[in-house]
Amino acid sequence: MAILAMPQLKRAWHYDPASPENVRYYGIAPSVKLTYAFYYLALLAFLAMMTFGIHDMLEPLRGGTR
């Protein structure tokens, strides 16, 4: 994973804030950023609940008692 991440790390270390693609990328409105953050946190919560549910459903198959 570290080897595959090296090109991206190199680009991050040589970040140019005046580059047109960086200006467009980081020029997103704060409301859009907050909306995306909410969606990611909601997805995280959903996946955590589903993982817990699957864990509980598989517990009897492993011989555990709860």
How confident is the model over 6-62, as pLDDT tens digits? 999 998 888 888 888 888 888 899 999 999 999 999 999 999 999 999 988 888 888
Answer yes or no: is pLDDT of 65 > 70. no
pLDDT computed for residue 64 by the predictor: 61
pLDDT computed for residue 66 by the predictor: 54
Residue 9 CA to residue 14 CA, distance in Å, equals 9
Could you tell me the end-to-end alpha-carbon distance of the chain, in angstroms, rounded to an integer? 38
Answer yes or no: is pLDDT of 5 > 90. yes
Per the listing, tokens 């997103």 go with: 28
Per the listing, tokens 């709860």 go with: 66
Residue 60 CA to residue 66 CA, distance in Å, equals 8
pLDDT computed for residue 7 by the predictor: 93
Helix residue spans in 1-66 (DSSP H): 2-13, 20-26, 30-58
